[in-house]
Structure 1
């Protein structure tokens, strides 16, 4: 379970990072991202007591609804003004190798190269100022086991005020 959850969460972070990179096309503010994948459907449900313990330890788990992970993401003006997607998988040694945009569509390639995870992911999507849609496919190896992971994400802009949702940490610009 831990490996599957880790794969899904890292993939979701990478996908959301690439999805959030809609540069000058997306509005800054609070976004709701809904991610669906076969791996999430197969994950056992975490008991409420365990979720509460995780929360007390400072681990914030996204909401799971009908086999989908729903999370709130705060995008600052700086984030949406970047020309490249932020790197969300630094802890897994994953990097964005390319990002191409044409009109309201985009593609990006992510490469992971660490002892725990090696492989390549491709994300393709479209965006408007207040919505995004992405399809992500990753093939590789995690902890010595092959991975062939497919994920779909949709996002909608909720408003300009992020409230208590903090922006994720951006890597320094190169």
Structure 2
């Protein structure tokens, strides 16, 4: 189960960022909410997500506040059930087109890019190692959907994983969540 938790942390990083490449997308700066789901054929990913959700639900208000404060300092806000995160994206982040990746052990390549869509392939040498492809499509400057599929090592065996995600712009004011570029 520990490897699945590591995998969830890795995927959370992927879910909340675009690659550290020159991605030029028409999006609105401000506070964004990102939702994601992950699946694998064995069903163990769903069990690990449920365990994480139960742990979040069982935190005391003080523990939850401490975790939220720490995550906000990294530019991330976590939703009640652990499947949503909030991030602050500035106009400068968008203009640079290099919104940061979360895992420095990953190599990424843009396969296709238009004004509202990009596809990437990636290889991550971390623990666990993984490789795959992903695609994000913006339906408007304030909303997107995405999907990715990848192969990773889980408990010493190769597993295929799939992730779907969506995002929506919430407001121009990011509140206590620091911008991505401030991390």
**TM-score bin (small chain):** 0.7 to 0.9
**Is 1:145 matched up with 2:157?**
yes
* Higher relative contact order structure (alpha carbons within 8 Å, sequence separation ≥ 6): 2
Kindly tell me: are residues 19 and 161 of structure 1, through their superposed partners in 2, closer, same or farther at Cα, counting changes over 3 Å?
A: farther
- Matched with 2:136 is 125
Give RMSD over aligned pairs.
3.0
Kindly tell me: are residues 89 and 137 of structure 1, through their superposed partners in 2, closer, same or farther at Cα, counting changes over 3 Å?
A: same
Spell out the pairing of 1:1-174 with structure 2 (5 A cutoff). 1-18=1-18, 23-38=24-39, 41-43=46-48, 44=51, 45-46=54-55, 48-49=58-59, 53=63, 56=66, 60=71, 62-65=78-81, 69-90=83-104, 93-98=105-110, 100-114=112-126, 116-127=127-138, 128-142=140-154, 144-169=156-181
Structure 1 runs of 4+ with >6 Å offset: none
Secondary structure of the 2:97 match is: coil
In structure 1, runs of 5+ residues without a counterpart are: none
TM-score (norm 1): 0.78
> What is the deviation of 1:160?
1.1
> What is the deviation of 1:135?
0.2
> What is the deviation of 1:3?
2.0
In structure 2, runs of 5+ residues without a counterpart are: 72-76
- How many pairs align? 166
More strand as a share of residues: 1
> What is the deviation of 1:62?
2.4
Cα deviation digits, residues 63-101 of structure 1 (max 9, x gap): 354xx60111110112111334522212xx123233531
